[in-house]
Amino acid sequence: MASPKYLYRCTPKVLIGLAIPLWILMSSCETEFIPKNINLEPELVVEGYIESGDNPLPAYVLLTRSRPFFTSLSTGQLEDLFVNNAEITVSDGSQVVKLDEVCISNVTPVRKKQLAAILGLDPDSIKVNICIYLDQFAQLIPKQGSSYKLTIKTEGQIIESVTTIPAYVPLDSTWWRKAPGEPVDTLLQLMSRIKDPVGQKNFYRYFCSINTSNFLTAFNSVFDDALIDGKDFEFRLIRPNLPSEKFDQATFGLFKVGDTIAVKWSSIDQGHFEFWNTLEFNKGNQGPFSSYTTITSNIKGGLGIWGGSSSRTYRLTVKR
């Protein structure tokens, strides 16, 4: 979304971008180096979600380890990052459900496809034996307004977290609008409107899938209603770049006429918002004009996110 946050965050980079022509004679120079390994123990990383909505996702968790900086890793080394045989439970206050560990290389193609869909991945693209802890039989029904407690016991450690699935605030409407600037036939911007509920903190996240792609996010996928509380607010949804696409200022964020797209619009809780907000800030801000932002986590005893959300998917065709 072209929010004030997005634009304001970009300004130091714009400044640098503009300063650069002034240093035309002074090409800045990048030299590769290998950072020193600071020899601290790896930490446990949780990435787990539970989602209500038109296409609910059962509770699932990826449990991995952090590792020191590397220049490249083999598939085997990547697989070693997964933590197996952990005891993981999720509780909604009335029932406790144990998540089962399922590794992709051990399942049938049909099951692989189902697991890939939960992870939002193309099954053919998965080359690594991803292991996932899953509420296989959907014993917990994700519900708006409910809190879910995650407990992980592994290697003598206990990791805990709580997330809430907030009440869903829908996209009120979406429509296509001509691209800003010079006329262009092939590109459109996707406009949308929400009616933000008054007097309560709301946090939003959105994803886009273009044609057959996975759900992807642009570099700012989350925002809150601090500036727009209770407003009937009109804004633009930004098209994320596909992995195969290079950044092009002239087309970035705009949808190509003829494509079919899906927008997944989510309401999330504050802990979930702060995780993505700090993560995206951390990714986008390196260098002398920003110091290092620590990614906020709602995981006690580890890194990562246990995130609840309520979502709906809107399918659209890009047309004039």
What residues numbered 206-235 form the site for another protein, per CB under 8 A? 224, 226-228, 231-235
Q: How far is the CB of 237 from another protein (least distance, A)?
A: 12
Query: Closest separation between CB of residue 39 and another protein, Å?
Result: 10
- Residue 94: name the closest of 168, 151, 53, 149 by CA: 149
Closer residue to another protein in complex, CB, 27/95:
27
List Cα–Cα distances, 19 to 6, 27, 28, 47, in angstroms.
Answer: 20, 12, 12, 39
Considering the rule CB under 8 A, would residue 111 count as an interface residue with another protein? Answer: no
* Residue 123 to residue 311: CA distance in whole angstroms: 23
Pick one of 197, 290, 301, 313: the residue that binds another protein (CB under 8 A).
290
Within a 10 A sphere around the Cβ of 86, how many other Cβ atoms? 20
Task: Output the smallest distance, CB 203 to another protein, in A.
Answer: 11
- Binding another protein (rule: CB under 8 A), the pick from 139, 144, 282, 313 is 282
Is residue 137 within the footprint of another protein (CB under 8 A)?
no
Checking 170-178 for CB contacts under 8 A at 24+ apart, the result is 170/194, 170/265, 170/312, 171/263, 171/265, 171/312, 171/314, 172/232, 174/237, 174/263, 174/314, 174/316, 176/255, 176/318, 176/319, 176/320
Contact 263/309 with Cβ under 8 angstroms? no
Q: Which stretch binds another protein (CB under 8 A): 84-92, 123-131, 142-150, 153-161?
A: 123-131
Q: Is residue 165 within 8 Å of residue 146, measured between CB atoms?
A: yes
Question: Which one, 65 or 312, has the nearer CB to another protein?
Answer: 65
Cα separation, 184 vs 51, whole angstroms: 38
Number of residues that bind another protein (CB under 8 A): 97
Binding mask 235-274 for another protein (x = CB under 8 A): xx------x-----xx-----------------------x
Least Å distance, CB 150 to another protein, is 16
Burial (CB < 10 A; 0-12, 13-18, 19+), residue 168, is middle
23 touches another protein by CB under 8 A: yes
Instruction: Report 139-178 residues binding another protein (CB under 8 A).
Output: 177
Q: Decide whether 5 or 143 has the Cβ nearer to another protein.
A: 5
Q: How far is the CB of 244 from another protein (least distance, A)?
A: 12
- Range in contact with another protein (rule: CB under 8 A) among 90-98, 121-129, 261-269, 309-317: 121-129
Find the binder of another protein among 155, 181, 244, 247 (CB under 8 A).
181
Select the residue interacting with another protein from 88, 237, 279, 318 (CB under 8 A): 279
Gap between the Cα atoms of 186 and 208, Å rounded? 19
Q: Is 81 in the site for another protein (CB under 8 A)?
A: yes
CB of 184 to another protein, least distance (A): 8
Among 16-24, 94-102, 136-144, 148-156, the segment contacting another protein (CB under 8 A) = 16-24
| Element containing residue 281 per DSSP (H, E) | helix 270-284
Give the 3-state DSSP-derived string for 110-123, with helices as H, strands as E and coil as C.
Answer: HHHHHHHHHHCCCH
Assess 93 for contact with another protein (CB under 8 A). no
Q: Cα–Cα distances in Å, from 218 out to 207, 232, 276, 287, 297?
A: 8, 23, 12, 21, 21
For residue 20, is it left (φ>0), alpha (ψ between -120 and 50) or beta? alpha
> Of these, 52, 59, 64, 133, which contacts another protein (CB under 8 A)?
64
